[in-house]
Amino acid sequence: MTRRLLVATHNPGKVTEYKSLLAGLHLAVTWLDEVGISEDVEETEDTFEGNAILKARYYASLTGLWTWADDSGLEVDALDGRPGVLSARYAGEGATDADRYRKVLGELAALPDAPRTARFRCVVAVAQPGGKVDTRDGTLEGVIAHEPKGSHGFGYDPIFYIPGFQATLAELERGVKNEMSHRAEAAAKAREMLGVMLSEAEGGEE
């Protein structure tokens, strides 16, 4: 029987990206809304790794399925790494992506001489129900633009400028982000890790 892998995210931007990044996996990929789960888990850890593990373990134990979760965010050097693990909540409850990236732009506007270097980080955790959990990470370097540009992607993509492409992530053609993003790097490594975890688990079941 084909095993199911639950991709545990409520973020529609991540769902879109994982639909491509997990294509061709020898597992039946399913999603939180497909299995009828709307509840969220409080992200109480102070590292991406800690929160990715917390999410993967939580949904694996809730569903009994192998579970893939990511914790990710933007680190701006001049803001001492903020918004970091708080990226999703940076402008408080009920705020929009635009509220959050405008807050970052406002904070940098108050530091006109500061460097605008930044990076996205993503940590993917894969949890076996009642068993092992492991992680892999990815990063993408860039600089914070002075104004938002582009309409693709999600989150902070409109203000994340990549000098090599002379474009923000939100201006890139669809599909290009998935060839080089922090999430693409973490996902490629985590796919390999998942293969090893599955063969170890199957070996143990014989």
Query: Closer CB to ligand ITT, residue 173 or residue 205?
Result: 173
Cα–Cα distance list, 107 to 47, 78, 100 (Å): 22, 9, 11
Q: Is 150:136 a contact under the CB 8 Å cutoff?
A: no
**Taking CB positions, which residue lies at the least distance from ligand ITT?**
155
Cα–Cα distance list, 131 to 9, 84, 126 (Å): 20, 29, 10
Does position 88 bind ligand ITT by CB under 6 A? Answer: yes
CA distance 189 to 181: 13
> Which stretch, 4-12, 109-117, 125-133, 185-193, contacts ligand ITT (CB under 6 A)?
4-12
3-state helix, strand, coil in the chain (%, to 5): 40, 25, 35
Does position 73 bind ligand ITT by CB under 6 A? Answer: yes
> Which stretch, 102-110, 125-133, 142-150, 153-161, contacts ligand ITT (CB under 6 A)?
153-161
- What residues pair up with 167 in beta bridges, in sequence order? 162
CA distance 60 to 66: 6
In this structure, which amino acid lies at residue 133?
Answer: V
Options 155, 184, 186, 194; binder of ligand ITT; rule CB under 6 A: 155
Which residue of the set 70, 71, 137, 157 is catalytic? 71
Does position 153 bind ligand ITT by CB under 6 A? Answer: yes
99 is catalytic: no
What minimum distance in Å lies between the beta carbon of 128 and ligand ITT? Answer: 19
Annotated catalytic sites, by residue? 71
Residue ranges in contact with ligand ITT by CB under 6 A? 9-11, 14, 43, 70-74, 87-88, 100, 120, 153-157, 181, 183
